[in-house]
Structures are given as C-alpha cells and as structure tokens.
Amino acid sequence: MPMRTPASASPGLRWDIFCRVVDNLGDAAICWRLARQLANEYSLAVRLWIDQPQALSRLVPGARPGQIQDRVSIECWRDDDPRLSLTRSEQLADVVIAGFECELPAGYRHAMTSRRPVWINLDYLSAQAWVDTHHGLPSPKSDGLTEYFFFPGFTSESGGLLREADLIDRCERFDRDPSARIDFLRSLGIDAKPGERFMSLFCYPDSPVAELIDGLKAIEGQVSAATGTPENWQLLIPEGIAPELSVRRGVRRVPFVSQTDYDRLLWSCDLNWVRGEDSLVRALWSGRPLIWQAYRQTGEAHRPKLEAMIDRWLKDAELPDPAATAWRKAHTAWNTAPDPASRALITAALPPTLEQLPAIAAGARRWRTAQIGQSDLARRLVAFTAGKL
Ligand code: TRH
C-alpha cells in the first residue's frame, strides 16, 4: 500500500480498534481493512482488539493474536483480560474506535475518563438519507466523555467508503493483463475455456440458489446480447457458501479465498453476487455488475436499507431503462422471503438482467469513476479525529 500522510495525520499516534464479532465475517472484515489501511497509509500505530480471532484468520490466513501482521498488532479481546480490566491511562490509545456500536471493555472505558482519547463509534454502512445528518454527531456521556458517530456512506457528507489508495490501480492493472485473470482462476482450480463467462456467488444460507441455477439453465446456449456468442455461464461458489449444492455443469466450487484474493475473484468475474457490507463495497470498486443481498434483520429492518442502496446506485450510475428496471427487479427477487413462491422470482428476473448486462457494466464503471472523486473512509476518519485530538 502506498504511504499517504496528509497534513491532518500525525504519524505514530496510537489507535485502538475494538471489534466484537456479532455473526458472519463483516465485523472482522471491515475492522481489519480499516486497521490495515490506517497503519500502512498513515503510519499510525494500530492495535486491533478482536473477540473472535478465528473470524479474522479465515480472511487473513495466519493472522493470530499476539502477532503483528501488515503493521497491525492483533490482540484477542476477552472481557476478563487483565490487560483490559485494569487498563492504566498511559496504556490507552489516542484514538479509540468501537466497531459497530460495540461496548468497550469496562476497565478500558474507565481509564478513558482521565486520558480522554478521541472516541469514535464506527457504524454500519447505509445509503439512507439520515446518514448525512447523523454522521459526525457527538454523544456526550455523564462521565464527561464524548462519543462521536461515524457513519460510512455514499455521499460527501457521510463517512465515505473504505478504499485503499492503490485499489483502483491494482484492479486496472489486473484488467489490462489477460493472463492475470487466467492465472488467478487457474490457482483456484478453474481452467477458463473460450466463451465461458463467470459469476461469483457469496450469499446467505437460505438464498434461492437452486432457482438462480434454473434461470441460468433457461438461457444456456442462447445468443448473448453482450457477447454475440452462446450463453455459457460458470457459477463460482466458495467453499462453505450454499453447501447444499453439488458440483454439476455450470456450477464450480472454488476455495474460500483470502480477503486479498477475494478482490481478484471479483475482478475475474462478469457478474458478482455479494452480501452484507464489505463484499458489497469491494464489488462496487471492482467496476463490474453486481447483485447485492442485504443482511436480513428482524422486522424487515433491512428493506429500507436495500431500497436506499438501489436508488442511490441507480442515480449515481446514471443507469437508463430498461437496464435500471431489470437491475431493480433482480434485487427484489434475490432479497425475497425464503418461501417457495418468492424463491422462484429470481428464475424470471435473471434473463432480462443478463440481457442488460452490458448497460449495467457501463453503469458500474460510471459509478466508480464518479465515486473515486470522493475521499475514502480512512482519510475522512483521520481528518475527523485530527480536529478533536
Ligand atoms: O459476512 P457478511 O455477511 O457480514 C455481515 C455484514 O457485514 C453485515 O452488514 C453485518 O451486519 C453482519 O455481518 C454482522 O458479509 P461481508 O460484510 O461482505 O463480509 C464478508 C467478508 O468475507 C468480506 O471481506 C469478503 C470476505 N471473503 C473472503 O475473504 N473470501 C471469500 O472467499 C469470500 C466469499 C468472502
């Protein structure tokens, strides 16, 4: 990663990031990505405290508590850890990040009252309009401390999106070198044949994957509007995702790759099915078409989040109809309740989406070009905290 030290960053400052893994991989994925970027691009001394280090080691092979990896000190966080329950103020960082509203360890929190570090609550990503008015707000506490809400988002008024300084260059270099894609796919056990196109699939357990495969079967051999050749899609599914599916024609298992290689997987595909938060952001930066599955929440709380993301992307990507309608319908179908009638929606939504793929791909590139002009999340966070130190 190239070093990037804007005037507002003070190299050597200590940052502690606390990550409590709720479920899945997103909490560990995002905290790690941020920690790595702060340490490497801003020369900050970063400690990542994580309560379930095994979630991190799935994404970053070899990452273990007590180690420094990629300039980040990784520490296992247990509530009864004496280092945390009796923290002395001089052991505190200058900036403390509580990942996704997690409660800080009591001893650490107590020590904060004397040293008063900048305290940030890094929240989940949303494209909803309220993010712009809530981002950066202080939440004063009765003990005199102030917590600041930092909301990732898609606008210049929000906290922005995570993006390493060299990400787009690396992606474009990969695109310019056809052998990079072939070699990478080969490293996953896939020998790409002429005419084959690839989709990656990362989804939640009860997704209508069998119905998606039915949709692919329905168009197999038809002349593709995108390539002028017969449709020949290969669905690449990392180990552990949709485990009920057996390997069959058009369905290929690939290993669950490292976070770094996951970018290459996205860059190797013509369409990516992504979920949650971090894989969505990576797929957006890939400049390729994607279909997103929102993390399902009780009371359908994810619905407004999904609608807001769809609306914002369509606007920023300036996607015209009929591509916009096809893309929206694919999202509605892929994010349905898991009952039999709703599951079948994706079978019908897939062919028009694939027909519109060239237009959707052009929109994805437009979205990326427009968004690159905005500063990234780490940069905004460094600037935000610098004003409070
Ligand atoms: O695992 P997720 O569903 O995480 C979710 C979301 O973050 C959600 O917003 C949050 O509320 C919930 O957790 C608790 O999806 P996400 O965010 O995309 O994180 C997955 C990470 O896994 C991402 O960094 C990509 C990475 N990954 C790999 O490194 N290798 C792989 O092979 C695959 C499929 C994914």
Confidence of residue 9 (pLDDT cuts 50, 70, 90): low
What is the overall mean pLDDT for the chain? 94
- CATH code assigned to 14-161+374-386: 3.40.50
Confidence (pLDDT) at 6 = 52
Which residue lies with its CA nearest to atom 18 of ligand 1? 279
Average pLDDT over residues 356-377: 97
Q: How many CB atoms lie within 10 A of CB 171?
A: 20
Largest CA distance in the chain: 69
Contact 33, 259 (CB under 8 A): yes
Helix 259-268, helix 278-285: angle, nearest 10: 50
Q: What is d(CA 194, CA 300) in angstroms, rounded to the nearest whole number?
A: 43
Does 215 sit in the ligand 1 pocket, CB within 6 Å?
no
The response to whether residue 25 sits with its C-beta less than 6 Å from ligand 1 reads yes
The atom of ligand 1 lying closest to the CA of 259 is 29
Q: Which amino acid is at 290?
A: L
pLDDT at residue 4, rounded to an integer:
56
The per-residue DSSP string of 142-179 comes to TTS-EEEEE---SSTTS------TTHHHHHHHHHH-HH
Mutate to test the pocket of ligand 1, among 19, 23, 24 (most ligand atoms within 8 A of CB): 24
Tokens of 157: 């008024």
Residue whose structure tokens are 């900036």: 95
Residue 280 is classified by DSSP as H
Q: What is the pLDDT of residues 187-218, one digit of tens each?
A: 999 999 999 999 999 999 999 999 999 999 99
Residue 3 has pLDDT above 60, yes or no: no
The set of residues, in sequence order, having a beta carbon less than 8 Å from that of 321 and lying 6+ positions away, is none
The contacts found for 319-324 with CB under 8 angstroms, 24 or more apart, are 319/359, 319/360, 319/363, 320/359, 322/352, 322/356, 323/356, 323/359, 323/360, 323/363
- Given a cut of 90, whether residue 84 has pLDDT beyond it is no
Task: Name the pairing type of β-strands 138-140 and 146-150.
Answer: antiparallel
| Structure confidence by residue, pLDDT tens digits, 262-298 | 999 999 999 999 999 999 999 999 999 999 999 999 8
* Cα separation, 215 vs 294, whole angstroms: 21
Compute the distance between CA of residue 347 and CA of residue 90 in angstroms, rounded to an integer: 59
Q: Is the CB of 148 under 6 A from ligand 1?
A: no
Q: Give the pLDDT of residue 248.
A: 81
The pLDDT of 354-371, averaged and rounded, is 97
Q: Atom of ligand 1 at shortest distance to CA of 255? A: 32
Identify the residue whose C-alpha is closest to ligand 1 atom 3: 276
Choose between 300 and 122: higher pLDDT. 122
Considering the domain 167-372 in this protein, what is its CATH number?
A: 3.40.50.2000
Is any ligand 1 atom within 6 A of the Cβ of residue 124?
Answer: yes
C-alpha span between 324 and 45 (Å, rounded): 44
**297 Cβ partners below 8 Å, 6+ apart?**
none
Whether the predicted pLDDT of 335 surpasses 70:
yes
Provide the pLDDT for residue 8.
Answer: 58
Rounded to the nearest angstrom, the distance between the alpha carbon of 63 and the centre of ligand 1 is 17
Whole-number Cα distances in Å, 201 to 235, 293, 295, 334: 7, 11, 15, 12
Same CATH fold, 167-372 and 14-161+374-386?
yes
HSE toward the beta carbon, residue 324, CA cutoff 13 A: 12
Q: Does 64 have pLDDT greater than 80?
A: yes
Cα–ligand 1 centroid distance for 33 (angstroms): 12
Looking at residues 144-151, what average pLDDT do you find? 97
Could you tell me the pLDDT band of residue 7, with boundaries at 50, 70 and 90? very low
12 vs 26, residue with greater confidence: 26
CA of 31 to the centre of ligand 1 (A): 11
| CA dist., res. 145 & res. 139, Å (int) | 9
Average pLDDT (109-115) is 91
Instruction: Check pocket membership of 202 for ligand 1, CB cut-off 6 A.
Output: yes
What's the pTM value of the predicted model, to 2 decimals?
0.96
Which pLDDT does position 1 carry in this prediction? 62
Kindly list the catalytic residues.
27, 277
Domain boundaries, the chain: 14-161+374-386, 167-372
Residue among 50, 202, 280 to mutate when testing ligand 1 (max atoms within 8 A of CB): 202
Angle between helices 167-176 and 278-285 (to 10 degrees): 50
What's the average model confidence in pLDDT over 16-36?
Answer: 97
Peptide bond into 322 cis (omega under 30): yes
Residue 2 has pLDDT above 80, yes or no: no
Q: 94-103: string of b/e by CB count within 10 Å (b at 16+)?
A: bbbbbbbebe
CA–centroid distance, 93 to ligand 1, in Å, is 28
> pLDDT-based confidence at 337, cuts 50/70/90?
confident
How many CA atoms, within 13 angstroms, populate the side-chain half-sphere of residue 76?
13
Ligand 1 mean position, distance from CA 100 (Å): 14
Quote the DSSP letter at residue 71: T
Residue nearest to atom 13 of ligand 1 (CA): 26
Q: What angle do CA 121, 124, 128 make, to 5 degrees?
A: 115
Q: Tell me, what's the pLDDT at 325?
A: 98
In this structure, the residue with its CA closest to atom 25 of ligand 1 is: 279
